[in-house]
Amino acid sequence: MKEVKLETVLNVYDGLSELPHDIQQLIDAAIKARENAYAPYSKFKVGAAILLDNNEIVIGSNQENASYPSGLCAERTAIYYAGAKYPNAKILKMALTASSQNQVTDAPIPPCGACRQSISEYEIKQEQPIEIYFMGAIGKVVKSNSLANLLPLGFDRSFL
């Protein structure tokens, strides 16, 4: 038996003002996108903004459904849209923000497991890490240099 230790390194910023201007702009785009969330059931609005290597910013927000599992998270709405519209562009950075109507969302909200799996697919496909920034509505911002940091022991195409 051998014990295996997995380590993740993240950067935690105290607030938006600590980040470089281009990242603030990407997060601003995610905040704007969040307003277009359709979240009448959870009252939890999520916004995502993706910067591509062609300089385009693609946005997404969560879209819910009366048949709950038919809804989709903001991250996947955005990344599938990016893949559909710019299939050859590489994804450089992704910014995520979430805001609950039930409480002050001051903790950084990480992408859910299904979204990590979906983002991972694109990171592996493009053979280049995707920088991920995530926050709540206010407060600290967390940066991960790649999706792989957020999904240890991921399932990928190499197993197929």
Distances (CA, A) of 134 to 48, 56, 94, 138: 9, 20, 8, 11
48 touches 60 (CB < 8 A): yes
Q: Is 75 a catalytic residue?
A: yes
Distance CA 160, CA 155 (A): 10
Q: Find the DSSP H helices in the chain.
A: 21-34, 74-85, 113-126
**Nearest approach, Cβ of residue 64 and ligand THU (Å):** 5
Report the candidate in 147, 150, 142, 12 with the shortest Cα–Cα distance to residue 92: 147
Report the candidate in 108, 113, 153 with the shortest Cα–Cα distance to residue 133: 108
**Nearest approach, Cβ of residue 157 and ligand THU (Å):** 23
Q: Give whichever of 73 and 89 is closer to ligand THU, judged by the CB atom.
A: 73
Q: Give whichever of 23 and 134 is closer to ligand THU, judged by the CB atom.
A: 134
Q: Give whichever of 64 and 123 is closer to ligand THU, judged by the CB atom.
A: 64
Distance CA 86, CA 92 (A): 13
Q: Give whichever of 25 and 63 is closer to ligand THU, judged by the CB atom.
A: 63
**Nearest approach, Cβ of residue 22 and ligand THU (Å):** 23
Report the interface residues with ligand THU, using CB under 6 A. Answer: 39, 42, 44, 46, 62, 64, 71, 73-75, 111-112, 115
Given the residues 35, 56, 75, 131, select the one marked as catalytic.
75
**Nearest approach, Cβ of residue 52 and ligand THU (Å):** 20
Task: Give the active site residues.
Answer: 75
